[in-house]
Structure 1
Amino acid sequence: MAKLGLCLLLLFFFFHIMVSMVEPTIATNSSATNSSTTNFIKASCKVTSYFALCVHSLSSYASTIQQSDQQLTQASLSVSLARARLAAVYVSKMTKTSGIKPREYQAVKDCIANIGDAIYELNNSVQELGHMGKAGAQDFEWHMSNVQTWVSTALTKENTCLDGFAVQGMDGNVKTAIKNRVTIVAQLTSNAVALASRYAARHRACSTTNVP
């Protein structure tokens, strides 16, 4: 009976040692994967005009992005769309600001329309890219052209909103509040434009390399 107890004790310690040896390996592999994805995001964001914003906005999507240019672009478009929707809600509320001037009111109304158009274009881009799958060379070019056109149009609409507050007599709190939010949306969309162009260029280069 004593021998049986001793054997069980030895087995317990042996099992404990084996687990201790395996656990650090699992953690290291997970850490290496996260580090690899983070490096991929940082390397990709170098083509954008707002690098820090790019890295920060995409880091939470790391597990989805992995090393995929398509998922990276999809994430950037989704972030832009989400922020544009939030901005639209905020700008809409500004029409009810107490003491708003007639010129400011019109600029806000125009901005609402432009942000609405930008949301429409960004939503089209997200859906188009999501439907691409493993498209052939010709289909890829057609889909990607649509994505780039729509996201570029969205950026134009966002900048048009900002231009509406650039005239004289528009220096109040309404302008500042809207400009702060829409500027972030425009910067995110600018990054999405750059990442979409990068994805298209890398896909073409890869396709050319694989041609027999």
Structure 2
Amino acid sequence: MQHHHPLTLTLTTLFIFLLFTFSSSHEDLIHSSCLHARYPTLCLRTLSNYSGPADTPLDVARAALRVSLAHARRASHYLHTSNGGASSTSSSKRQRAALSDCAELVADSVEELRKSLEELQHLRPETFRWQMSNAMTWVSAALTDGDTCLDGGSVRLDVKRRVTDLAMVTSNALYMINRLGQGGPGKPVPHSRPGLSVKN
């Protein structure tokens, strides 16, 4: 029969307790962060599946931005390859023009979201407000680009679906950044880990 030293049992119990507490805190933070987002169910689904750090409000804002950037890159790739999945013979001239405009706008969104994420990865206490303002401006611009694409007319259903999906995750990301900005600078770590409003 194997005997365990009492200290070993105590340390094991403590480790399990801390692991459970960490996991619960992680889930609680994601839940509380998503609760009042514009698309809470989507927010919970995308951030719960996020594999990177999400242990502080700053982590959650970065995670939301990374999700949005990933969606933007996928949409941009879709729009730039194979004419967005349709042959030129099956698309009207107007649809092809709308697709070209959307492709350019989504490419702009990729760059704007990338710049916003870069800003959040290099926050400094002395420039926190200015950097948060920059991040919100760029994400807002990405939302405007999505609106402009959808307002262009003759937008195919497959394109509309992808741009709307991008708009929803980007709207959630903007909420997270705004929420972080309202919380004040707190203690942003200078060298911490890197990692479309939808019309009703």
Q: How many equivalent pairs are there?
A: 184
Distance in 2 separating the partners of 1:16 and 1:63: 36
User: Structure 1 length as normaliser, TM-score?
Assistant: 0.78
Aligned match for 1:157, one of 119, 124, 145:
145
Q: Do the aligned partners of 2:57 and 2:180 also contact (CA within 8 Å) in 1? A: yes
Query: Match for residue 112 of structure 1?
Result: 103
Paired position in structure 1 for 2:68 = 80
1:42 Cα deviation from its structure 2 partner: 0.9
Pick aligned residue for 1:122 from 109, 113, 131:
113
Shift of 1:70: 1.1
Structure 1 residues 162 and 62: CA distance shift in structure 2, 3 A: same
* AA of the residue aligned to 1:37: H
The structure in which a higher percent of residues are helix is: 1
Are residues 1:186 and 2:179 paired? Answer: no
Q: Secondary structure at the match of 2:183?
A: helix
Structure 1: segments with no counterpart, 5+ residues = 1-11, 208-212
Aligned-partner residue type, residue 135 of structure 1: P
Q: Tell me how far 1:27 sits from its aligned partner.
A: 3.3
2:177 corresponding residue in structure 1: 196
Distance 1:199 1:18 in 2: 41
Instruction: Give, as a single letter, the amino acid of the residue that structure 2 aligns with 1:147.
Output: A
Paired with 2:156 and 2:82, the residues of 1 have a C-alpha distance of 10
Question: Pairwise CA RMSD of aligned residues?
Answer: 2.4
Deviations 1:133-177 (A, max 9, x none): x422xx11111110010111011101211222xx3xx4xxx7111
3-state SS of the aligned residue for 1:131? coil
- Shift of residue 16, structure 1, vs aligned partner: 8.5
Instruction: State the SS of the aligned residue for 1:47.
Output: coil
Secondary structure of 2:2's match? Answer: helix
Larger Rg: 1
Percent sequence identity is 34
After the TM superposition, which segments of 4 or more aligned residues of structure 1 sit over 4 Å from their partners?
16-25
Contact 1:117 1:157 in 2 (8 A): yes
Kindly provide the CA deviation profile for residues 78-133 of structure 1, in whole angstroms up to 9, marking residues without a partner as x. Answer: 1101110000111123527221111110000000010011111101101111111x
- The TM-score, its normalising length taken from structure 2, stands at 0.82
C-alpha offsets along residues 32-66 of structure 1, whole Å, 9 cap, x if unaligned? 21111111111111231100111111123366111
**CA distance in structure 2 between the partners assigned to 1:62 and 1:85 by the alignment:** 18
